[in-house]
Amino acid sequence: MKKIITVIGARPQFIKAAVVSRAFAANNVVEKLLHTGQHFDTNMSDVFFDELEIPRPTWHLGIGGGSHGQNTGRMIEAIEHVLMQERPDWVLVYGDTDSTLAGALAAVKLHIPVAHVEAGLRSFNRRMPEEINRVLTDHVASLLFAPTTAAVSHLADEGISGAAVLNVGDVMFDAALFYGAKAETASAILSTLSLTSKSYALATIHRAESTDDPDCLRHILNGFAQFAGIIVLPVHPRTRARLSAAGLRLPDNIRAIEPVGYLDMVMLEKNARLIVTDSGGVQKEAFFHRIPCVTLRSETEWTELVEAGWNRLAAPSGAETIAQAMQAALGTTGKSIAPYGDGNAAGKIATRLLEEIAS
């Protein structure tokens, strides 16, 4: 029987895979999930499988917590072992994590074709581990599912074009539409936290560039301290560890909570007056729910949102820049744009992979 093995390992990949796995199930495609273990805490992993109804992984490698080299190396070895036994027709990978690259490398060396969802994104900052992972994965993939026209052009600039590249739209948009409606009834997070709509800002910080340098973290916290109002901050495990190592205390207006499940996150996003983040996914979700956003980076892969005025960049190199950008963003909207497809990216991915498998 023809089959696809999907390699996932980190929080945003669970959300993306949820919508694509549902489209596979609707099309009778046999998909088996391989979870590398990159994110393993209950609230960074299990909650997504439960509430988004993702099929249970057939393999759980339990690889996480090491350096990039350690994780990627161990993952390649373990994924190769599974692929040699299973011999799938395709390997599907998502985004830009070490799990993405490990899955892609293990597969191509066994001559198993790789499909990459979220192909063609570029920050043009090669110091980001994510940028290295996505560039290398794109260059070994046989099918590249790009989320935007900008992503298609980036691939063309690197010599990747033709039938292998397909602009299907963004699977995160599919997820926001599908689970956004569900969250309205399924999430009780606002009452649990005693929050009312539009009474708070929502922030997330987790990237290596924001958290590894204590000065950078200090600027972010000092910028947040100047904001007149509550900031709800679901604290990523990496950020918690870095804050504690640097001995940094959160300002009084920060409401720190544990990471939440996706339905609660969507609810927190929809009802925020402002979103401040260094996350790729959260920047876009701010736009999907039409909430003004400040991105704590000096560049972004999702440039269309900055150009249309939905998002502002504020490099975390000074507290003032951050505080000013947050103040300026409050109450703003952007131009009417629709760069992320029609909400059926997952269906298009499933259809194309089915065609490939059948041919």
DSSP assigned state of 348: H
262 binds ligand UDP (CB under 6 A): yes
Is 121 a residue that touches ligand UDP (CB under 6 A)? no
CB of 43: closest distance to ligand UDP in angstroms? 7
φ and ψ at 288, to 5 degrees? -55, -35
Q: Per rule CB under 6 A, is residue 265 in the interface with ligand UDP? A: yes
Quote the least distance from Cβ 172 to ligand UDP, whole Å. Answer: 6
Residue whose pair of structure tokens reads 């039938």 in the numeric block: 163
- Contact between 295 and 220 under an 8 Å Cβ cutoff? The reply is no
Residue 313 CB, shortest distance to ligand UDP, in Å, is 15
| Tokens describing residue 171 | 């699977």
Nearer to ligand UDP, 112 or 304 (CB): 304
Among 38, 71, 204, 210, which residue sits at the site for ligand UDP (rule: CB under 6 A)?
204
Rounded CA separation 255/201 (Å):
10
Q: Quick one: which segment of 133-141, 212-220, 258-266, 340-348 binds ligand UDP (CB under 6 A)?
A: 258-266
Q: Which of 12, 113, 147, 292 binds ligand UDP (CB under 6 A)?
A: 12
How many residues of this chain bind ligand UDP (CB under 6 A)? 16
- What is the radius of gyration, based on Cα positions, of the chain? 20
Which burial class, exposed, middle or buried, applies to 299 when counting CB atoms under 10 A from its CB (0-12, 13-18, 19+)? middle
Q: Which residues are catalytic?
A: 206
Among the listed residues 8, 63, 75, 282, the single contact to ligand UDP using CB under 6 A: 282
Torsion of CA 172, 174, 180, 182, to 10 degrees: -130
Answer whether 2's CB lies under 8 Å from 357's CB. Answer: yes
Identify which range of 10-18, 148-156, 215-223, 304-312 contacts ligand UDP by CB under 6 A: 10-18
Side chain identity, residue 151: A
Q: To the nearest whole angstrom, how small is the minimum distance from the Cβ of residue 339 to ligand UDP? A: 17
Listed residue (87, 61, 56) closest to 72, CA to CA: 61
- Which SS3 state, helix, strand or coil, does residue 111 take? coil
Least distance to ligand UDP from the beta carbon of 109, Å? 26
What residues make contact with ligand UDP under the rule CB under 6 A?
11-12, 15, 204, 206, 234, 259-262, 265, 279-282, 285
